[in-house]
Structure 1
Amino acid sequence: MAFGLIIIGDEILSGRRVDKHFPKVLELLSQRGLQLSWAEYVGDDRERITATLKRTLASNDVVFCTGGIGATPDDHTRQCAAAALGVSLALHPEAKEKIQERIADMAREAGSTPDFDAPENQHRLKMGEFPQGASIIPNPYNKIPGFSLKNPGGQGAHYFAPGFPVMAWPMFEWVLDTHYADQFHRQAWAERSMLVFEAMESTLTPLMEAIEAQFPLVKVFSLPHVGDEKTRRHIDLGVKGDPAQVEPAFEKMQEGLRSLRAEYQISA
């Protein structure tokens, strides 16, 4: 099962806000023995959002989406999700109930009686207009829910939350713990690495290829660094994958580096 992440919003691409969702989603998944397979950033452009969702909805992936589910002119995600599926938006009855609970809470805090027919409160209900067939995702912060969609013809699903971390993160945790607990820690995983100093990747490539050929459940990674005031030029070289193969593959890697007379330091 592959997990993906779509982060929507011009404010991220312009630098007006710094994205915090990517590292947090990595953390939420890794805590549960899961991995993120891909991530995309998309601006507030209806055609681009719709095209992106049409493509990802055709997959079997589990996709988390943040941003653009409000009811202001620059929020397009709900409409684009509906367009990607070829369905219309409709006020979800559970979403309506939760939004009205929020309206009542706000009125009570202000010492007044809620007027559900007031124009501003009628407008708030638009945040509960989801593509037909959607289910709600509870929002413990302010009760205004997100929504989920099953991928048509596939085994995956899409989960839509607001762009605010204080809302999105507990909502994504709820999704994982409610729907994917049976996937937690199913695949054992290990990683070992070292710093190889003053080496060229072209020199190390045959060794990396040989290790992947000999250990099919392992992937080799190579991350070059130009060096700085703390560390000389080096390559962060390592192996990751099935624990049963990671250790012998790592030993093989060290043997190969010694035969190349390469200077290296095993990472902690």
Structure 2
Amino acid sequence: MEFGLIVVGDEILSGRRQDKHFAKVVELLGARGLQLAWAEFVGDDPGRLTALLRRSFAGGDIVFSCGGIGATPDDHTRQCAAAALGLPLVLHPEGRVNIEERIRETAREAGHEPDFGAPDNLQRLKMAEFPEGAGLIPNPYNRIAGFTVAHHHFVPGFPVMAWPMIEWVLDAHYPHLFHAAVHLERSLLVYEQAEAALTPLMEALQRDYPGVRVFSLPSVGDAQTRRHIELGVKGEPSKVELAFDAMQAELQSRGAEFRLL
């Protein structure tokens, strides 16, 4: 199973807010020997979000989705997840208790008893409406849970809530994957070489070392930096080391100038 990330919100696509989830999810996975396979950004359009979720549910990956699980008119993630799975939205009993406890605490801090029938509190309870059969993701910030369904894990868009919730999911649900997915990446800088001239070497490495992926990141250079290509291999550690040694040997035989990173 591979890991994917969905970031939801018009504010990201418009540039009003900068996404912070991508880099953090890469970090959280990497600390556990795991790797992000794909990421998609989508706005608040329900049709587009439902189509994306329907496709990702069918793919069988482990997916984190950040944003859109509130109860305001521009929050559609809960509804779209249910629609994509063909399931009804239902009020989760434990989720309801968590929200009612939060309402009670907030009221007493303000010096009065909670009114659970007040329109604003009834609206808050919608944040515990999840696709039927969903499990809860505890929220250490305010106890208003996210939810899990079909290896998809839905958390708020706020980093202070989302990141510890994602960590909890990884450690609670997927520790068996931590060592099975150990990943190594090795790279070097090759100077003053054309990428096309290095392509046969890259193709040979991928052919001769199955499971190793080769990458190339060219830089045109500037007044301070020479033209170079970051050339590397990634994958299972023992195979990566062999492929990396073969890469260096071939570059040396060509008389290419390079520097290890």
Q: Same fold (TM over 0.5)?
A: yes
Report the residue type matching 2:247 in the other structure.
M
Q: Distance in 2 between matches of 1:247 and 1:148?
A: 38
Matches within 5 A, 1:69-218: 69-150=69-150, 157-218=151-212
The residue matched to 1:244 in structure 2 has which SS? helix
Residue matched to 2:28: 28
The residue matched to 2:143 in structure 1 has which SS? coil
Q: Distance in 2 between matches of 1:33 and 1:95?
A: 32
Structure 1 residue 229, shift from structure 2 partner:
4.1
Structure 1 residue 244, shift from structure 2 partner:
1.6
How many equivalent residue pairs?
261
Structure 1 residue 197, shift from structure 2 partner:
1.0
Q: Distance in 2 between matches of 1:133 and 1:146?
A: 13
Residue matched to 1:262: 256
Q: Alpha-carbon deviations, 1:25-71, whole Å to 9, x = none?
A: 11111111111111000001000000000111112111100111111
Structure 1 residue 242, shift from structure 2 partner:
2.1
The residue matched to 2:59 in structure 1 has which SS? coil
Aligned CA-pair RMSD = 1.2
The residue matched to 1:124 in structure 2 has which SS? helix
Q: Are the equivalent residues in 1 in contact too, given 2:34–2:182 (CA < 8 A)?
A: no
Q: Distance in 2 between matches of 1:252 and 1:22?
A: 33
Identity of aligned residues (%): 64
Range that drifts further, 251-260 or 170-179: 251-260
Gaps of 5+ in 2: none
Residue matched to 1:240: 234
Residue matched to 1:65: 65
Q: Distance in 1 between matches of 2:82 and 2:245?
A: 52
Gaps of 5+ in 1: 151-156
The residue matched to 1:16 in structure 2 has which SS? coil
The residue matched to 1:105 in structure 2 has which SS? helix
Q: Distance in 2 between matches of 1:4 and 1:198?
A: 36
Q: Distance in 2 between matches of 1:188 and 1:3?
A: 14
Residue matched to 1:153: none
The alignment's TM-score, normalised by the length of structure 1, stands at 0.94
Residue matched to 2:213: 219
Residue matched to 1:154: none
Runs of at least 4 residues off by over 3 Å: none
The residue matched to 2:245 in structure 1 has which SS? helix
Range that drifts further, 10-19 or 105-114: 105-114
Report the residue type matching 2:156 in the other structure.
P
